[in-house]
Structure 1
Amino acid sequence: MHEHRFAIGQSVRMPNRLGTLKTDDLLFTVTGKMPARDRSPQYRIRSEEERHERVVTEDMLEAIAQQLEMADAAEQLFAPKKITLPNTN
């Protein structure tokens, strides 16, 4: 039996590819874990943009937490810092 790689509540993305044309990835939250299908764990996932849940196998998903952490680090590195000057009055 294969272990589930993603946790309930974790943000994941499902790469959206149509043939050789890559379109925007779809973002989801894991809402439940299900038994494996064809030796790949299954998940219930939901998008903020959809009213229904989907059932997908683990090989269809990618974690996005690392990408978000990298974006936060870049924002902190390049964000303008607010400088407070002393009041001279």
Structure 2
Amino acid sequence: MSDSDVIALMRDGLWITLLVGGPLMGAALVVGLIVSLFQALTQVNEASLIFVPKLLAVAGAAALTAPFIGRTLGDFTRLLFDRIVAIGGV
């Protein structure tokens, strides 16, 4: 396996990480901004007020994107295993 193959696999791995984690982080970001705005407007400063909605939003986003995440990670894993076999691994 050449250096360019390793770099391509690392680039693909980072891209997969962004694709898989992006929706979850986006949901947490949006809910965090909304709750922070609510706290600033009402001057309620409760730590659990920001934690629970974020937890629910990330869990909901994970449930909605689970098929995509599973398919994407499965395809990438198969690609990696095919590359291992191609270079002579057992």
TM-score (norm: length of structure 2): 0.28
**Higher RCO (C-alpha 8 Å, min separation 6):** 2
Structure with the bigger percentage of helix: 2
Structure with the bigger percentage of strand: 1
TM-score (norm: length of structure 1): 0.28
